[in-house]
Amino acid sequence: MARCSIEMIEALRETASRLHKGANYQWGHMGSCNCGHLAQTITKYSKGKIHGAAMWRYGDWREQLRDYCPHSGLPMDEVIDQMLDFGFTRQELAHLETLSDPIILDNLPQERRHLKHNQRDDVVLYLTTWAKLLETQLLPQIKLKKDLEKVQV
């Protein structure tokens, strides 16, 4: 996993929570699928705006990520720019669309490792597991002052 930040963890958890609470989910819709929901969280764009941006070029999220060009000026590339600037990689986003990152899958309970990419509950599990992994990666980097005894209450 490339970078890790509190903001990334919060974005994954917010996306998972919204899906868990029943947000409109439709894997075949570029703004309501796995990456589409994370894009909504990061960009604050509506599902319709994200879907509309994707219609300027062919393909699903994996193809859009493969053909991404930061200088194209295409609306979908601007959505992807924001997601990359947030800290996610193209490979991580492509894995999200198919729920296929081997590191995340290895951290799932054995009986839940065969996820279906278009099942809401599987997406929620994938996102929450990813957030936990990032949190585990981030925690050792946080340093607290050791002079807590000197703090007066």
pLDDT digits (tens, 9 = 90+) for 68-124: 999 999 999 999 999 999 999 999 999 999 999 999 999 999 999 899 999 999 999
Question: CA Rg, the chain, in Å?
Answer: 17
Amino acid 118: pLDDT: 95
Amino acid 151: pLDDT: 54
Q: What is the pTM of this model?
A: 0.88
Question: Average of pLDDT values for 125-136?
Answer: 96
Are 25 and 117 in contact, with CB atoms under 8 Å apart? no
From CA 43, how far away is CA 72, in angstroms rounded?
A: 19
Amino acid 145: pLDDT: 60
Q: pLDDT tens-digit profile of 9-49?
A: 999 999 999 999 999 999 989 999 999 999 999 999 999 99
**Sign of CA pseudo-dihedral 6, 8, 9, 15:** positive
Q: Is 64 a residue whose pLDDT tops 80? A: yes
Amino acid 58: pLDDT: 84
Cβ-Cβ contacts under 8 Å for 53 (sequence gap 6 or more): 30, 45, 74, 75, 76, 78, 79
Are 36 and 50 in contact, with CB atoms under 8 Å apart? yes
Banded pLDDT at 3 (limits 50, 70, 90):
confident
Inter-CA distances, 104 with 85, 114, 126, 130, Å:
22, 12, 7, 6
Amino acid 90: pLDDT: 95
Place of tokens 């894995």: 95
Element (H, E) at 34: helix 34-43
From CA 148, how far away is CA 134, in angstroms rounded?
A: 27
From CA 115, how far away is CA 113, in angstroms rounded?
A: 6
Least confident residue range of 46-50, 66-70, 139-143, 147-151: 147-151
Amino acid 149: pLDDT: 56
Cβ-Cβ contacts under 8 Å for 11 (sequence gap 6 or more): 38, 41, 42, 86
